[in-house]
Amino acid sequence: MGHGGKDPGALIEGYKEKDINLNVALKLRDILTKNGIDVIMTRDKDETVDLQQRCDIANKAHANYFISIHCNS
């Protein structure tokens, strides 16, 4: 999911994209997990994870799918 930590992403009316993205991603993780799908998160808290780190996490896990969640202003 996009942004996190020191990178808030889009800012509008007091909302930070990083917070919305994380909330959506955690809810999606819970839904997928309840349906028997293994989920690996690139972040599950407000922290900075750069693009290369995200790719490394996915590649190490041999992920079949990579979902990137963003909300623009």
56-66 pLDDT tens trace: 999 999 989 99
Does domain 1-73 fall under CATH 3.40.630.40? My reply is: yes
pTM reported for the whole predicted model: 0.85
* CB neighbour list of residue 26: distance below 8 Å, 6 or more residues apart: 44
Mean pLDDT of each 10-residue bin along the chain, 73 residues long: 82 92 96 97 93 92 91 82
Where are the domains positioned within the chain?
A: 1-73
* Identity of the amino acid at 34: K
pLDDT for 4 equals: 87
Task: Supply the pLDDT for residue 25.
Answer: 96
Give pLDDT, residue 43: 92
Question: In angstroms, rounded to a whole number, what is the distance separating the alpha carbons of residues 47 and 12?
Answer: 20
Rg (alpha carbons) of the chain, rounded to whole number: 13
- Nearest by Cα to 70 from 9, 5, 7, 6: 9
